[in-house]
Amino acid sequence: MFYNDEEGFDNWIKSHSFGIVINSSPGRLNPSYVKAHRPNCGSIQRHAGATTVYSKHCFDSASEAIEYLRSEDLPTPSFGCPTCKVSALEPTSDPRQLAESVEKLLAKGFASAPLGNRKPLHVAASSTTLVQRDPAVVAWVLAQANGKCELCTTDAPFLTSKDRPYLEVHHVRTLASGGPDTIDNTVALCPNCHRSMHSSKFKDVLLEQIYGRLARLVR
């Protein structure tokens, strides 16, 4: 937390481009005002002319902020700021919302790698269980792949309607089995390699290949 310490806050911003800031009353979080912002959001930095000195509660990721607030019996933050478009960082189990958020993040670019979520939330939905995913993790991995499958190294098979190379982001240790939603457990694959990683007779061999190819992966 930064209270009346703009210099400390500015230094934190430099290494936390995917962080989340909740601006609230000095020294505490006010349940009636729990709004999330991106660290560089112009609507929270200085408050020129404000009569209240705010405190900035800073988290490494949206998932960390949500989990902390839940543990303190505080409401889930609003991700509705139109200035910084923080909604792109909100974890989601909705494929359409995930794709929209990833597109926004790819368009904005990256100053640092996202933290992701070591224990993504599993949400019961009718007869199945959905897992909330971090859009920043998907976007960062796609950007790192730069249009090439990270297993077979061939170009993506086609361009999307947004004129981006189509690759699919795969969790090496599956989310269903408790794998983390982090950049050290995700890879960008062409559709053929993606299905092979799941269903091939030689999927164990492919698993060893991808671990050997990408230094960022952690077993």
Name the residue among 180, 110, 179, 96 with its Cα closest to residue 139: 110
121-159: pLDDT as tens digits = 888 777 777 889 999 999 999 999 999 999 999 999 999
Pair (132, 194) in one structural domain: yes
Reduced to 3 states (helix: H, G, I; strand: E, B; else coil), residue 24 is: strand
Domain boundary residue among 20, 40, 71?
A: 71
pLDDT score at 197: 95
N-term to C-term CA, the chain: 33
Tens-place pLDDT, residues 152-189: 999 999 999 999 999 999 999 999 899 999 999 999 99
Phi-psi sector, 73: left (phi>0), alpha (psi -120 to 50), beta: left
213 CB-near residues (< 8 Å, 6+ apart): 150, 151
Answer yes or no: is 169 within a domain.
yes
SS3 assignment, position 163: coil
Query: Rounded to two decimals, what is the model's pTM?
Result: 0.86
What's the confidence (pLDDT) of residue 52? 57
Residue 1: pLDDT over 80 = no
- Tell me, yes or no, whether 132 and 192 share the same domain: yes
Residue 9 forms part of a structural domain: yes
Q: How many domains does the chain have?
A: 2
My answer on whether 15 and 100 are in the same domain is: no
Same domain, 27 and 117: no
Same domain, 57 and 105: no
150/167 Cα distance (integer angstroms): 9
Q: Which residue has the higher pLDDT, 12 or 26?
A: 12
- 99 and 55 part of one domain: no
For residue 14, what are the domain limits? 2-71
